[in-house]
């Protein structure tokens, strides 16, 4: 899932301070699970903004709300008119949600309430770890199921580097050397000898380097397009 973390209140304040009516808009999926931007955190941030406004003696109406996801219109459509009645929407969704909503609120700005950090797992309650970089061309079947792109500080495809240090990365003692983990894992799987093959340079065009990416699931698109051509849909689509 997508992991995020709350922005410092001072940064938030600098974004919102000139608006009169602010909606802190929570997203109840990924960022809720990591306690950064669900409805609860939206309520908390709203409270902090109100207190900050109080400190400055500013008149400000700050409310909160939450929907299941900001990244699919069906979830926020039912409340979009209410959302648009504010001067500013501070979305506590991940960057995807902020972007997506920004296109759909007319003249109302949508600002980010959290920092979107990475794709990660819940290693322990309240502790999240980046494990995938979304490169668009997954190769972890070659590396014991562990991703060198996301988890090696240098994104080495044929590691480890000389900085590996008893299982830790030279960048920080708190970072595991993923190449050490890959070797250990592949030993266990009995596939260590595969590592003797040198992995060729990668084509990064499937990653960010190819520009913004899209995925289109053809059979679903086809159905949707047929639906759109019908003059009026019986079953009440839209």
Partner 1 sequence: MTPGQTKETGTYRPYGADIKETRPYSPCRAACPAHTDVQAYVGLIAQGRYTEAFEVITSVNPIASVCSMICHHPCEQSCRRCSVDEPLAVRHLKRFALEKSADYRRNKRRLVGKTKNKSIGIIGSGPSGLSAARDLSDLGYGVTIYERHPVLGGMLASAIPPYRLPREVLKEDIDDVISKGVEVRTNCEIGRDVKLEELTKKHDAVLIAIGLSQSRSLNIPGVEGPGVLLAIPFLEDVAFDRRPDLGNKVLVIGGGNVAMDVARSARRLGVRDVSMVCLESAEEMPAWKWEVDEAVEEGVRINHRWGPKEVRRQEGKVQGLEVVKVRSVFDANGRFNPSFDNDQTTLIEADTIIITIGQMSNLSFLKDSPVKIDVRGRLEWNPATQTSSSKNVFVAGEVVTGPGSAIAAVASGHRAALAIHLHLQGEAVEGALPLQEKEKISQMPPEVLEMISREPRLKIKHLAPEVRCDTMTHFEIGYDEEEALREAGRCRGCGGGAVVDTQKCMACLTCQRICPYGAPVVTSVSEIRPEYCQACGLCAPECPGQAISMVSYDVKEISETLPSVVGRVDPKRQEPVIVAFLCTHHVGVFGFDLPKNVRKVPVHCTSRIDILDLLKAFETGADGVAVVRCNDGTCKYRGIEKGVKARVKRGQEMLGMLGMEPGRLELLSAEAGRGGNPWAAVCDDFSGRVKQLGLRAVR
Binding site for partner 1 (CB under 8 A): 8-10, 28-29, 32-33, 35, 38-41, 43-44, 46-48, 50-55, 57-68, 78-79, 122, 125
Q: Which is nearer to partner 1, 41 or 71 (CB)?
A: 41
Rounded CA-CA distance 98/109 in Å is 10
Residue among 56 and 174 whose Cβ is closer to partner 1: 56
CB of 195 to partner 1, least distance (A): 36
Q: Which residues contact 18 (CB under 8 A, 6 or more apart)?
A: none
How many angstroms separate the CA atoms of 130 and 55, rounded? 37
CB of 59 to partner 1, least distance (A): 5
Query: Smallest gap, in angstroms, from Cβ of residue 67 to partner 1?
Result: 5
Q: Are 173 and 132 in contact (CB under 8 A)?
A: no
- Closer of 63 and 207 to partner 1 (Cβ): 63
Closest to 92 measured CA to CA, from 154, 48, 45: 45
Of 39 and 89, nearer to partner 1 (C-beta) is 39
Name the residue nearer to partner 1 (CB basis): 71 or 149: 71
What minimum distance in Å lies between the beta carbon of 151 and partner 1? 24
Give the DSSP letter string of 132-157: E---SS--GGGTTT--HHHHSTT--S
Q: Which one, 64 or 151, has the nearer CB to partner 1?
A: 64
| Shortest distance in whole angstroms from residue 43 CB to partner 1 | 6
Distances (CA, A) of 104 to 25, 112, 140, 237: 14, 15, 37, 19
Shortest distance in whole angstroms from residue 96 CB to partner 1: 16
Tokens for 3, please give them. Answer: 């992991």
Q: How far is CA 179 from CA 16, 26, 76, 184, in A?
A: 44, 38, 43, 9
């Amino acid at each position: 899932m997508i992991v995020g973390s709350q922005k410092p209140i001072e940064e938030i304040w600098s974004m919102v301070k000139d608006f009169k009516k602010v909606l802190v808009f929570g997203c109840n999926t990924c960022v809720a699970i990591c306690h950064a931007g669900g409805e609860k955190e939206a309520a908390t941030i709203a409270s902090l903004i109100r207190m900050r406004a109080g400190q400055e003696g500013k008149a400000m109406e700050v409310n909160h709300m939450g929907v299941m996801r900001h990244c699919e219109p069906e979830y926020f459509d039912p409340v979009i008119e209410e959302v648009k009645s504010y001067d500013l929407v501070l979305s506590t969704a991940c960057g995807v949600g902020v972007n997506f909503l920004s296109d759909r609120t007319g003249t109302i700005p949508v600002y980010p309430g959290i920092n979107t950090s990475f794709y990660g797992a819940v290693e322990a309650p309240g502790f999240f770890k980046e494990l995938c970089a979304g490169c668009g061309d997954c190769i972890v079947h070659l590396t014991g199921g562990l991703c060198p792109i996301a988890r090696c500080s240098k994104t080495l495809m044929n590691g480890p580097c000389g900085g590996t240090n008893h299982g830790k990365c030279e960048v920080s003692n708190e970072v595991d050397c993923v190449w050490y983990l890959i070797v250990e894992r592949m030993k266990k799987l009995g596939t260590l000898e595969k590592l003797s093959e040198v992995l060729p340079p990668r084509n990064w065009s499937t990653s960010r380097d190819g520009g913004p990416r899209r995925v289109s699931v053809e059979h679903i698109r086809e159905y949707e397009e047929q639906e759109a051509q019908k003059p009026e849909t019986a079953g009440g689509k839209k």
